[in-house]
Structure 1
């Protein structure tokens, strides 16, 4: 007996949803198996994204090296990860103090990271410093500080772990970068410049180390919406759309990128994607729209 036409579409939707669910479960299982016993370094483990990544990798049986500028926060994260963890399938993380604003300490940090396990399988560079200010108000000292944290720090650490990866002919270096490494907007001069620089470095690095079997990935995301989840649903505010990503979603994408060995990921909503395409194919129009936006904001401040 043939099924009524009206029932075909709901059944197709249910079947598609089931297939999608099974697919996600398989990918999640593969993600865990891909990092089992792997040495994984997270450069800013105490941030929202870093702690979410640490949780995923720890559950997957990775040998974690957690880095950060605050020892107290790293110890707190250590306690959270190891509390109730099964020692048969997980490893207690190792902690390394890392502050990219102190570039003089980088040789010691690189040595300490490598000496933890003798090698690094996966390096996740997620450290970042943000700045929004008119260009004429930003000092040279602040410019240099942003470049240290967003560019010189990640590139120095990547070069530090690279020789061991090249000798073993394996490894994965992942840069968590902003979409502003590909799209510059006003009042982010220093920040965007540092993100463009680190994006170019890792793009060049990808080509140079491919022959050694080393994967280099970049994830370009919009701003991170770090607001803690509320127990009561917030009322949507008109005229204030949110185009950010939450730390959990970004961490999930990092794990997927590692497991699938993607080379480049753009994690953004449609409007930032459209802006990126306009910048590439219709630059004059894009520049005019951005300049008009700056003028409108200046007029609004005067009113």
Structure 2
């Protein structure tokens, strides 16, 4: 990855932050983005070589601004070799209690923001001979669970869209990897939206005891380097993908009693 240009969204915390450190150690030139500019500079300060790290704040919910942000990113190093869409927000609320405004926000940030940013950068990748787009989805992008209805929908949508996009760009040397983490120890449950759109403010027990973000980042980097189309990361919850595929009815009954927080 030495001198390759990597753009990471959601870079101010969690998996995105851990990915910044992994690619910095690998010698990549980095553009790091999120809404929180101060936290981005904290992350940058944790890296040794500041010259090759550029802070570019953005808001994925403001999809109309992302084409301009992509142009700004391309001017920094002249190209983007690897775009990692790590920015997103989760949910902890029942579908029947969740406002449409909250559900739209989840779709805008997790799905439309990722789509808009990726499309804004793909033409440049093709012009430069190819590139790699990564979406940080979730195991909930493969099966839905209670308290995650709109979140699961946004992640399922990523799979449908980017699987189709991969096929359409097969002759353009564009690679697409979808990473599906399970319970990872980050602030995702603290920041998760409740029914009225407010953050939950507490750490789920499952998240607290989940895989460290640093380990998750290493597995994502490995999957990217191996050009995998899809990768599942986590503990025993990863088995849910195969469980649902082979025994869908049993899996549905299992979810009625499963601890998902």
Under TM normalisation by the shorter chain, which class is it?
A: 0.7 to 0.9
2:70 alignment counterpart = 110
1: CA distance, partners of 2:151 / 2:97: 14
Q: Shift in Å at residue 135 of structure 1?
A: 0.9
List runs of 5+ in structure 1 lacking aligned partners. 1-34, 228-238, 298-303
TM-score, reference length from structure 2: 0.86
Greater fraction of residues in helix: 1
2: CA distance, partners of 1:103 / 1:170: 24
Q: Shift in Å at residue 242 of structure 1?
A: 7.4
Tell whether 2:183 aligns with 1:217: no
2:201 alignment counterpart = none
SS in 2 for 1:65: strand
TM-score, reference length from structure 1: 0.74
1:156 alignment counterpart = 116
1:62 alignment counterpart = 28
Greater length-normalized contact order (CA 8 Å, ≥ 6 residues apart): 2
2: CA distance, partners of 1:223 / 1:269: 7
Tell whether 2:123 aligns with 1:141: no
Q: Shift in Å at residue 182 of structure 1?
A: 0.3
1: CA distance, partners of 2:134 / 2:206: 32
Q: Shift in Å at residue 243 of structure 1?
A: 6.8
2: CA distance, partners of 1:216 / 1:152: 17
Q: Shift in Å at residue 283 of structure 1?
A: 1.6
SS in 1 for 2:46: helix
Does the 8 Å contact 1:243/1:268 carry over to 2? no
2: CA distance, partners of 1:43 / 1:274: 28
List runs of 5+ in structure 2 lacking aligned partners. 188-204
Q: Shift in Å at residue 240 of structure 1?
A: 7.7
2:242 alignment counterpart = 277
| Of 15, 28, 35, the match for 1:49 | 15
Total equivalences in the alignment: 243
Q: Shift in Å at residue 154 of structure 1?
A: 0.8
Does the 8 Å contact 2:131/2:175 carry over to 1? yes
| Of 71, 87, 104, the match for 2:37 | 71
Cα-to-partner distance string for 1:255-293 (whole Å, 9 max, x where unaligned): 2122222221111323x23322231122222223333x2
2: CA distance, partners of 1:265 / 1:141: 31
Q: Shift in Å at residue 91 of structure 1?
A: 4.0
Does the 8 Å contact 2:186/2:207 carry over to 1? no
Query: Which 4+ runs in 1 deviate beyond 4 A?
Result: 239-243
Deviates further, 108-117 or 41-50: 108-117
1:268 alignment counterpart = 234
1:197 alignment counterpart = 157
2:251 alignment counterpart = 286
Shift in alpha-carbon separation, 1:254–1:209, aligned structure 2, 3 A: same
SS in 2 for 1:37: coil
